């Protein structure tokens, strides 16, 4: 069965990157500015403070936080510590002179795994808009299912290893971690509105599966409603309430997002792309694309793939 969430993450051009796994001895602090990446931090051992404009909270061993919109934040051993700019910490690590390693006193060091997730910020899908400013999963090794602990332990082990291909393995594991954290976030928050709420809804989840699996067909509302086990009126109302648009509008959006990816990554002709995503004519495809993205498919392709 098609995995709706995986379909969306694939089109978001999602990728992961790990910066470092380090022991930090107090006093220490890092200040990360607003940026284009969804930064994440995993407390492998010890405690630290996370501070942003929205929150100040203590993170403990086993916690993981993700800031999906790249919000500025600080990580500190103590709220009174003056932080060092994050890029300086990363540069020192890359130059073989990591900071915060020679602390004084009896305070134990803490271990921190840091990295980021990148995805297409122009991806016009409901999921991209509804991700919160902060996702915080407490004690990932405690109440989370076994696969969560297995994935994070493997990520930590590979990050600490000096083996061929370790960096590639770590980055791929980081991508798995994002999906696991998103699943844990769903279990923890149980959203009642939005795309994530829709894929967890037994009826709307089937409707979304139908749309994703058969997007190239001219699906009708009646066909989607039958797959969902709902009447057309109930499906239309509930889908729009949760997702923010009708099933047919979402079907069009999903087709055009796939077309965007083909325009960006392939050399196929516009008629071929139009046919592949479910349009019977290039003209109908071009009208729909321009209506949604405010530019023609040809203009979009030239913008994304400028001539060398």
Count CA atoms closer than 13 A to 215's CA, side-chain side.
Answer: 22
Of the listed ranges 48-52, 99-103, 243-247, 286-290, the one predicted with least confidence: 99-103
Per-residue pLDDT reduced to its tens digit, 267-302: 999 999 999 999 999 999 999 999 999 999 999 999
Full-model pTM: 0.81
Q: For the residues of 210-258, what is the DSSP string, one character each?
A: HHHHTTTS---HHHHHHHHTS-HHHHHHHHHHHHSS-HHHHHHHHHHHH
pLDDT attached to residue 44: 87
Q: In the structure encoding, which two tokens stand for residue 63, read together?
A: 């916690």
- Please tell me the number of Cα atoms within 13 Å of 22 on its side-chain side: 24
Q: Are 293 and 260 in contact (CB under 8 A)?
A: yes
* Six token digits for residue 55: 């929150």
- Name the residue with higher pLDDT: 37 or 14: 37
CA 258 to chain centre: 18
Structural domains in the chain? Answer: 4-189 (2.60.120.10), 197-304 (1.10.10.60)
Structure tokens at 268: 């196929």
Q: Which of 44-48, 151-155, 227-231 has the highest mean pLDDT?
A: 227-231
């Amino acid at each position: 069965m098609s995995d709706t969430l995986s379909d969306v993450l694939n089109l978001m051009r999602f990728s992961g990157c790990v910066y470092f796994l380090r022991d930090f001895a107090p006093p220490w602090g890092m200040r990360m500015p607003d940026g284009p990446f969804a930064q994440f931090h995993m407390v492998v051992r010890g405690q630290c403070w996370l501070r942003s404009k929205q929150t100040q909270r203590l993170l403990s061993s086993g916690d993981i936080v993700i800031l999906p919109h790249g919000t500025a934040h600080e990580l500190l051993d103590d709220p009174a510590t003056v932080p060092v700019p994050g890029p300086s910490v990363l540069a020192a690590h890359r130059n073989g002179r990591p900071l915060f390693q020679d602390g004084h006193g009896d305070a134990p060091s803490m271990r921190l795994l840091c990295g980021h997730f990148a995805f297409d910020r122009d991806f016009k899908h409901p999921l991209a808009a509804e991700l919160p400013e902060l996702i915080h999963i407490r004690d990932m090794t405690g109440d989370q299912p076994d696969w969560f602990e297995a994935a994070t332990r493997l990520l930590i082990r590979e990050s600490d290893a000096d083996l061929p291909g370790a960096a590639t393995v770590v980055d791929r594991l980081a991508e798995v971690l994002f999906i696991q954290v998103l699943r844990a976030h769903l279990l923890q928050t149980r959203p009642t509105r939005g795309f994530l709420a829709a894929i967890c809804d037994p009826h709307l989840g089937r409707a979304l599966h139908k749309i994703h699996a058969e997007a190239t067909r001219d699906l009708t509302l009646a066909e989607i409603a039958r797959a969902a086990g709902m009447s057309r009126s109930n499906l239309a109302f509930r889908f729009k309430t949760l997702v923010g648009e009708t099933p047919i509008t979402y079907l069009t959006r999903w087709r055009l997002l796939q077309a965007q990816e083909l325009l960006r990554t392939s050399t196929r002709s516009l008629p071929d792309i139009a046919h592949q995503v479910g349009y019977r004519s290039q003209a109908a495809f071009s009208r729909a694309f321009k209506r949604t993205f405010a530019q023609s498919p040809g203009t979009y392709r030239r913008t994304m793939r400028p001539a060398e």
